[in-house]
Amino acid sequence: MSANLLRHIPKTDNEYQFSKLIEVSPTTYEKYRANLRLISQWLDQHQYPDTLPIAPEILETWLNDAALSLKPNTITQRVWSIAWLHHINGIPDKNNPVYHPSNKRFSHHVKKYRASRHLDNRINRKEPLYTEDIKNLCRQCKKDLRGYRDRALLLLAFVTAGRRSELAELTFNDIKISRDKKSALVSIGKSKGDQLGEGQTITIFAGNNRYCALASLEKWKQEANIQQGPIFRTIIGNNQVQPQALHPNSISGTIKKYCLKAGYDPDLYAGHSTRRGMLTTAANKGCPINELRTQARHKHSSMTEYYIGYASDMKRNPTRGILN
């Protein structure tokens, strides 16, 4: 019988109980499942059992194979999916292969092993989309129903520094536009930075009429003839707006589509490009790190600094003006 680690994921018809059991967000849960499927295939190919706990030497063998074919970040994600699977099954850390002495500091050893064989350990971050880039993408949007939706999506994704999942879950009730229509309060529900769903509120301001997120949102709302529920929705057939929200992956696909239309390499951009671009643009304009952290909804400023690293480096770089 084929190895299948997914059989160890607890099953229950009670969604509340299931949420307690898996202890992670739906997005992370799906990533873990995908990782465990791939590890199951490897176990099957090598005729290893899929019983828990996995023997430390089996994980060490997998790390040896993976180090030459996968990037360190991918390996780390798959290893933590193994640690998670043991955790939700009540297996103590002392019996968890990830915490075994032979596999401690696995990330460091994987990188060192790869470096000794001249393999690249650099993290390939998606490129940011700056203000002019967003305007360029918006110019590719047609003046039809999909175009109005996508224009509003691009602009709102940028000004809110929104994650794909946050944008997908936004409803019209989450955006309170001020009476003078110069600003709006955006309420973000459960997200990566707010696993308990207590809510986070940010302020966004209206922009140039041609590239105003609030005006574009109102235009989409009017053309789609929708007043409540999800903002960004699937459109099928002959401009039939569906009640369900766009999937987060569709949001990333939309950004890539308009990058291609605008002449950019779509492989260099994704859902996080608008988020990173907004933060980097604001940093270049001198926005303080604490204000950027608030807008990005990061728990720690170190993550914000990671996002805007390039902008920060440019301002503090010791070669700046050295040959003037």
146 pLDDT more than 60: yes
Report pLDDT digits (tens) over 190-243. Answer: 655 555 556 689 889 988 778 999 999 999 999 999 988 999 999 988 888 999
Range of the domain at 254: 131-314
The span from the CA of 144 to the CA of 227, in Å, is 19
Q: How far is CA 253 from CA 44, 102, 178, 206, 279, in A?
A: 33, 41, 31, 26, 21
Question: What pLDDT, on the 0 to 100 scale, is given for residue 315?
Answer: 58
Q: Are 193 and 175 in contact (CB under 8 A)?
A: no
Q: Is the pLDDT higher at 209 or at 47?
A: 47
Q: Say yes or no: 77 and 181 in one domain.
A: no
Q: What is the reported pLDDT for 192? A: 57
Residue 320 lies in a domain: no
pLDDT tens digits, residue range 115-137? 999 988 877 778 999 999 999 99
Q: Is the separation of the CB atoms in 36 and 116 below 8 Å?
A: no
Residue where one domain finishes, among candidates 116, 150, 181:
116
Work out the pLDDT band at 320, boundaries 50, 70, 90: low
Q: What is the DSSP letter of 244?
A: E
| Winning range, highest mean pLDDT, from 20-29, 103-112, 194-203 | 103-112
Query: Would you say residue 319 lies in a domain?
Result: no
Amino acid (one-letter) located at 78:
R
pTM for this prediction: 0.74
Look at residue 200 and tell me if it is in a domain: yes
For residue 296, name the pLDDT band (cuts at 50, 70, 90).
confident
Q: Is residue 125 part of a domain?
A: no
159 within some domain: yes
**Mean pLDDT to the nearest integer, 22-36:** 88
Q: Are residues 50 and 185 in the same domain?
A: no
**Is the same domain home to 205 and 143?**
yes
Q: What pLDDT, in 10s, does the model give residues 237-264? A: 888 899 999 999 899 999 999 999 999 9
| Residue 322, in any domain of the structure | no
- Report the pLDDT averaged over residues 72-90: 95
82 and 20 together in one domain: yes
User: Domain boundary at 70, 90, 116, which?
Assistant: 116
From CA 127, how far away is CA 17, in angstroms rounded? 39
Please state which of the ranges 26-40, 120-134, 158-172, 250-264 shows the lowest mean pLDDT.
120-134
Identify the band that residue 22 occupies on the pLDDT scale cut at 50, 70 and 90.
Answer: confident
